[in-house]
Amino acid sequence: MTTSVRVTGLVKRHGRRLVLDGLDLSIGTGVTGLLGPNGAGKSTLLRCLATTLAPDTGSIRALGLDPARRDERTELRRRLGYLPQEPGPYPHFTAFDLVDYVAILKDMTDRRSRHREVRRVLAEVDLTDRAATRVRRLSGGMRRRLALAQALLGAPELLVLDEPTVGLDPEQRMRFRALVSRLGESRTVLLSTHQTEDVAALCERVVVLAGGRVAFDGTPAELAAVAAGHVWITASRPSGGLFWRTADGRYRVLDQRPPAAEPAEPSIEDGYLRCLGAAG
Ligand SMILES: Nc1ncnc2c1ncn2[C@@H]1O[C@H](COP(=O)(O)OP(=O)(O)OP(=O)(O)O)[C@@H](O)[C@H]1O
């Protein structure tokens, strides 16, 4: 693995709240998924990597650059693609103009080749026929895809995507998975998500953040294995524990074995929940 990002001893406080607590992490080529409960610090970490937020202490090296140094930070901004959690401003811009504006900020000066690149990324996210639509008239999922389009500008070596699949319909989610899998063959993609299905479908590696630290770092199969021997399936509704109904009307139970239950193959979600100590 070629290391593209190395984070060492990262600390970030928001007011009195310690959000990143001396975090260490290295990421290389391929798709890495970042899981963690609400408020775990995922967006804070991604914002630090995308250089929109400075850590209090600790160091970041991304693509060989140090974002704490002004000249290297500017270079890194040109070379990474970032999809933030918050939607961008400028609701009166058209989809084309918004992406074009970001391309200008990325120093794509030649108008003709820049416009070609804007059309390319709009096509990547299936928004070609919405290029002339104003941002405020796009649906939530379309805005998310537009935000992804601007992150793809210039084919960046490092992509930082904060909950990229939120609001996508199933067809667009599949398209997104195909696109990101392809990008991950040659680039470094770090994406946060609450969808364990996305992790299973996309990521070679998964990192779980909890309490501002890395609670798990491994393959999706290794995360699922955390729950091995702790998952059961049963026909009757369990009286306690963490359980939910499956598509075939039975119940999947984590951590407390109900009577007459059969062992089940653990999923990534089971491993994640066990890793957080949410079950039992
Ligand atoms: N600008 C800010 N000012 C104050 N507190 C903040 C700010 N941004 C984040 N926080 C706090 O920092 C903590 C971590 O937030 P962050 O958005 O990084 O979590 P997250 O893991 O991305 O959560 P989610 O899954 O809900 O998106 C939360 O408690 C949040 O309230």
**74 plus 42 within the same structural domain:** yes
Q: Is the CB of 19 under 6 A from ligand 1?
A: yes
Cα–ligand 1 centroid distance for 12 (angstroms)? 11
Q: Check: CB of residue 190 under 8 Å from CB of residue 49.
A: yes
**229 plus 212 within the same structural domain:** no
Question: Whole domain around residue 19: which residue ranges?
Answer: 3-218
The residue nearest atom 6 of ligand 1, judged by CA position, is 14
**114 plus 209 within the same structural domain:** yes
Q: Is the CB of 86 under 6 A from ligand 1?
A: no
- 190 is a domain residue: yes
Q: Check: CB of residue 67 under 8 Å from CB of residue 77.
A: no
User: Which atom of ligand 1 lies closest to the CA of 36?
Assistant: 21
**7 plus 143 within the same structural domain:** yes
- 280 is a domain residue: no
- 158 is a domain residue: yes
**171 plus 186 within the same structural domain:** yes
Q: Is the CB of 196 under 6 A from ligand 1?
A: no
**113 plus 142 within the same structural domain:** yes
User: Which atom of ligand 1 lies closest to the CA of 162?
Assistant: 22
**186 plus 112 within the same structural domain:** yes
Cα–ligand 1 centroid distance for 45 (angstroms)? 10
For residue 230, the tally of other CB atoms under 10 A from its CB is 20
**134 plus 246 within the same structural domain:** no
- 163, two tokens: 């909950």
The residue nearest atom 27 of ligand 1, judged by CA position, is 38
Helix (H, G, I), strand (E, B) or coil at 117: helix
Q: Which residues are paired to 3 by β-bridges?
A: 28
- 239 is a domain residue: yes
Q: Is the CB of 266 under 6 A from ligand 1?
A: no
User: Looking at residue 158, which CATH number applies to its domain?
Assistant: 3.40.50.300
pLDDT at 86 over 80: no
**18 plus 154 within the same structural domain:** yes
ipTM of the complex: 0.95
The residue nearest atom 1 of ligand 1, judged by CA position, is 14
**163 plus 233 within the same structural domain:** no
pLDDT at 205 over 60: yes
Looking at the 3D structure of the chain, how many domains does it have?
2
**232 plus 193 within the same structural domain:** no
Mean model confidence pLDDT for the chain: 92
**85 plus 208 within the same structural domain:** yes
- 126 is a domain residue: yes
Domain end among 203, 218, 233: 218
Among 179, 181, 197, 87, which Cα is nearest to 139's?
Answer: 87
Among 250, 216, 255, which Cα is nearest to 233's?
Answer: 250
Binned at pLDDT 50, 70 and 90, residue 279 comes out as very low
Cα–ligand 1 centroid distance for 19 (angstroms)? 7
pTM reported for the whole predicted model: 0.91
Binned at pLDDT 50, 70 and 90, residue 2 comes out as confident
- 262 is a domain residue: yes
